[in-house]
Amino acid sequence: MKIRFSSVLLFALFACNNHQHTLPILGNRDTKTTVVDGKTQVDTIYQTIPPFSLVNQDGDSITQESVKGKMYVADFFFTSCPTICPIMKKQLIRVFEKYKGDANFMILSHTIDPEFDTLALLKDYATRLGSDGKQWMFLRGNREQTYELAEKGYYATAMADSTEPGGYVHSGGLILVDPMGRVRGVYNGTDAAEVDHLLEDIDLLKNEK
């Protein structure tokens, strides 16, 4: 399986590796100009994760409201993946174990093969990884909508590809999202050193005002 990185992802990896004191806010942005008491004020409007409606391994509906006000890490995978997914999940276990019990932190793992990855299979997969099913959720939805969410929301690659092992290609990125729904970093989930940076940046983001 190839790991594909977008230009945004490469920027994010560069930024994270440089240990900035304030994490960058990735994605498109716009400005809004208002006049208050005769004074012009220009505010920056940052891109956020678009609305989504998915189902977790327990059959519960999960939307953007489910993570409102919470920091979370997102990734894309499929249970029959023969290449990078097991490595990514091993690294995600590290993240989960460090922040287990933190009510303001979640992990959202999105399957890109919903036809094969039934809720029962996702439930078993979550159990085998040691997930509690609440703080670390395994999500399933319409295939095309999931692919669009990956590309336009998380700057990740996710698509069917018959030439790839397992029949799919997807990014190996772990995406850090802040409580306002903005992407703050993307990290190579197959590289332990990159995940070390992710853990550092989660702590940094927790202290951000």
pLDDT computed for residue 12 by the predictor: 44
| DSSP letter, residue 189 | T
pLDDT of residue 20: 52
Q: Which of 54, 59, 53 is nearest to 133 (CA)?
A: 59
Tell me the sheet residues that pair with 34. 41
Residues 6+ apart with CB under 8 A from 47: 26, 27, 28, 29, 182, 183
Q: Is 14 helix (H, G, I), strand (E, B) or coil?
A: helix
Displacement of CA 97 from its chain's centroid (Å): 17
Return the biggest CA–CA distance within the chain: 62
Structural domains present in the chain: 7-206 (3.40.30.10)
The C-alpha atoms of residue 15 and residue 147 are separated, in whole angstroms, by 25
> Do the beta carbons of residue 198 and residue 71 sit within 8 Å?
no
* Tokens linked to 206: 């927790």
pLDDT in tens, the chain (209 residues): 434 444 344 444 444 444 457 899 998 888 888 878 878 888 788 999 999 999 999 999 999 999 999 999 999 999 999 889 999 999 999 999 999 999 999 999 999 999 999 999 999 999 999 999 999 999 999 999 999 999 999 999 888 877 877 888 788 999 999 999 999 999 999 999 999 999 999 999 999 87
Which single residue is written with the structure tokens 């550092």? 200
- CA 60 – CA 56 distance, rounded (Å): 5
pTM of the complete model = 0.86
